[in-house]
Amino acid sequence: MEKQIRNRASQLIEGFCSFLRKCIYSIVSIGPIPKHIAFIMDGNRRYAKRHNLEEGSGHRAGFSALMKMLKYCYELNVKYVTIYAFSINNFKRRPEEVQSTMNLIQEKIEGLIEEESIVNRYGVKVNFIGDLNRIRQVGSRTGYDRYLAQLAGRALDMHCVHVDE
């Protein structure tokens, strides 16, 4: 019984949030919508430390938030999204941390291949920009290579970038 009440409450909250989002979209849509938005994936480690979470949990939370933002960008007809995901400076961190982050990136790229992913649902085209050889040096590019093979004529361009020094 308690589980049913929690499920119902969750559905009500989700429905209310959806309604609020539609209201906000209606208001925002009155003005000009940018064609290009950029996100800098920064602060995930600090977030995890501040909330006493396991190493890597902040990056997972950041990825989840990013997927929500991509959905909102799609709903608002933002055509281009750039994501600064892994700075060249991040390679200066502990090797275990770099490898852990690369493993997470690999896992998430593999997830983008899945049919039900937000990228496939909305026809998002992903371009990886930067020194991709560094990715090869740290970990496998299998997911990246498989994903590139599946890209064709997508509606929303998303660019994953890392900045060289």
Q: Which residues are catalytic?
A: 42
Q: Where are the alpha helices (DSSP H) in the chain?
A: 2-28, 44-50, 57-75, 95-113, 118-121, 132-138, 142-150
Query: In degrees rounded to 5, what are phi and psi of residue 149?
Result: -65, -25
CB 99 within 8 A of CB 146: no
What is the maximum alpha-carbon separation in the chain?
57
Residue 40 host element (H or E)? strand 36-40
